Amino acid sequence: MSAALRRLWRDHRLLLAGFVLALAVMLFFAVRSVMFWVYWADPAHREEPIAGWMTPRYVSHSWSIPPEVLRDALAVPAETKRLTIDALAEARGVPTEEIIRQIEEIIAAHRATAPVRKP
């Protein structure tokens, strides 16, 4: 350890620990943001065929529609997190294909009335 760092640690231990913690949090969110950007920049993830494992938010990203449009049309509460299409179909007692059909209709209706949002 350099003399300056030792002196900082000796005289300002709490401040230095807080700074290191802030750097770690910043690094975590920076890496997370880059990973998100790289994933969605891949054309293979755009307009993927809708499947039961997907969440409505994932579908909205993939199909470039606002998440609230899909969430509101499916009547999914805003505070609901990570509800898959399979789980939504099971909760409603309908086949997964029925929910997928509804989502496809919502996407088509939205695109007919609104310009396509660029990812």
3-state secondary structure the chain: CCHHHHHHHHHCHHHHHHHHHHHHHHHHHHHHHHHHHHHHHCHHHCCCCCCCCCCHHHHHHHCCCCHHHHHHHCCCCCCCCCCCHHHHHHHHCCCHHHHHHHHHHHHHHHHHHCCCCCC
Q: What pLDDT, on the 0 to 100 scale, is given for residue 42?
A: 84
| Statement to judge: residues 89 and 71 lie in one domain | yes
Residues in contact with 104: Cβ distance below 8 Å, sequence separation at least 6, in sequence order: 50
Residues in contact with 63: Cβ distance below 8 Å, sequence separation at least 6, in sequence order: 46, 47, 107
Residue 118 maps to a domain? no
Of all residues in the chain, the percent with pLDDT exceeding 70 is 95
Residue 12 maps to a domain? yes
**What distance, in Å, lies between the first and last C-alpha atoms of the chain?**
46
Q: Give the domain extent around 30.
A: 3-41
Tell me the pLDDT tens digit for each residue of 4-14.
888 888 889 99
Tell me the pLDDT tens digit for each residue of 71-88.
999 999 888 888 999 999
Tell me the pLDDT tens digit for each residue of 13-50.
999 999 999 999 999 999 999 998 998 888 888 889 99
Q: How many domains does the chain have?
A: 2
| Statement to judge: residues 15 and 64 lie in one domain | no
Q: What pLDDT, on the 0 to 100 scale, is given for residue 116?
A: 56
| Statement to judge: residues 23 and 49 lie in one domain | no
SS (H, E, C) 58-72: HHHHHCCCCHHHHHH
Q: What pLDDT, on the 0 to 100 scale, is given for residue 46?
A: 86
pTM for this entry:
0.71
